[in-house]
Chains A and B, each alone.
Chain A
Amino acid sequence: MLFQYAHALIGFLFGMLFVALQVFLLVRLLAPRVKEPMKDSTYECGEPPVGDAWVRFDMRFYTMALIFIIFEVEAVFLFPWATVYNDLIAGLRAAGTGNVLFPFIEVFVFILVLGVGLIYVWKKGDMDWVKAMRGQPKQSWPPTEGSTGERDVEKDVA
C-alpha cells in the first residue's frame, strides 16, 4: 500500500525538481539579463502599477470562501458514502432485511439540511457578486438594454 504512495511521492519530487531546474537553472542559462528599474516593479499586466498591492480586500471574497468551505466539507462527507453506496444496496438486497432506500434517504436528509443554508445565503444576497447599491434596485447581470455594463461597474465602485 505504502509503495503506491511512493510512486506518487517520486512523481511529486521529480515534478518539483523539474520546475526548479526550469525556473532557476534554465532561465539563468538562456535568458538575457538586462538591469532596469522597471523590471523590479510589480507586474500588473503591462500597466504601470498604481498604489500598493496591500489594500484591504473586499468582504465578498471572504463570504465566498466561507460558503465554499461549508460546501466543501459537505462534498468530502458525501465521498465515502458514494464509494460504498452500490455495495450497501447490494448487501441490503441480498439480506432481504431493512429498507433498501435507507442509505439514500440518510444522505438526502444530509443534503436537504445544507440546502436550507444554501437558500438562506442566496436569499440574503451573500452570493451576489454585483451588489445592489443602497436605495437602488439591484443591477441585473448581464446588463439589459439601455444600461451598459460599464456604467454599472462604475456605479458599483462609487
Chain B
Amino acid sequence: MGTEAYLIVASLLFLIGASGFLLRRNLLVMFMSIELMLNGAALLFVTFARHWNRMDGQIFVFFIIALAAAEAAVGLSILIAIFRLKHRVNADELSELKG
C-alpha cells in the first residue's frame, strides 16, 4: 500500500482521539482518547520511516511507547488519587483550581 493510505488511517485515528477528548468528560475516557492520538502520531512516524527507508522513525516510536507507559503509570495514579480525594472522575466537576 502507498504512503497515502497509511497517512489517512493515522490522521483518522488522531482526529477520532481528538474529538473523543473534546466530547467525553470522564478522565478515564479522556485518557483513552489521548492513547488514540498517541497511536495515530506513532503510526505516522512508522509510515515515514518506511517512506524514507530510514530506521529513525521506528526508534522514535520505540521511545514514544516507553513514554506512553510512563504517562499511563503517572496519569492513572493521579486519577486514583483524585478519586480517593473527591470520589469522582469527571473533569467538569474538578474545577477547584479555576480562578
Contact = CB atoms under 8 A, between A and B. Distances in A.
Interface in A59-81: 59, 62, 66, 69-70, 72-73, 76-77
A61 B79 CA distance: 15
A138 to B, nearest CB: 24
Nearest to A67: B73
A134 B72 CA distance: 30
B66 A66 contact: no
B9 interface: no
Q: How large is the interface on A (under 10, 10 to 19, 20 to 34, 35 or more residues)?
A: under 10
B73 A69 contact: yes
A10 to B, nearest CB: 20
Nearest to B77: A66
Interface residues of B, number: 10
Interface in B63-78: 65-66, 69-70, 72-73, 76-77
Contacts of A76: 65-66
Contacts, number: 20
A62 B80 contact: yes
A77 B66 contact: yes
Contacts of B62: 77
A31 B65 CA distance: 46
Contact of A70 (B69, B76, B80): B69
Q: Which 10 A-B pairs have the closest CB atoms?
A: A73-B69, A73-B66, A69-B69, A66-B73, A69-B73, A70-B73, A62-B80, A66-B77, A77-B66, A69-B72
18 contacts: A62-B76, A62-B80, A66-B73, A69-B69, A69-B72, A69-B73, A70-B69, A70-B70, A70-B73, A72-B69, A73-B65, A73-B66, A73-B69, A73-B70, A76-B65, A76-B66, A77-B62, A77-B66
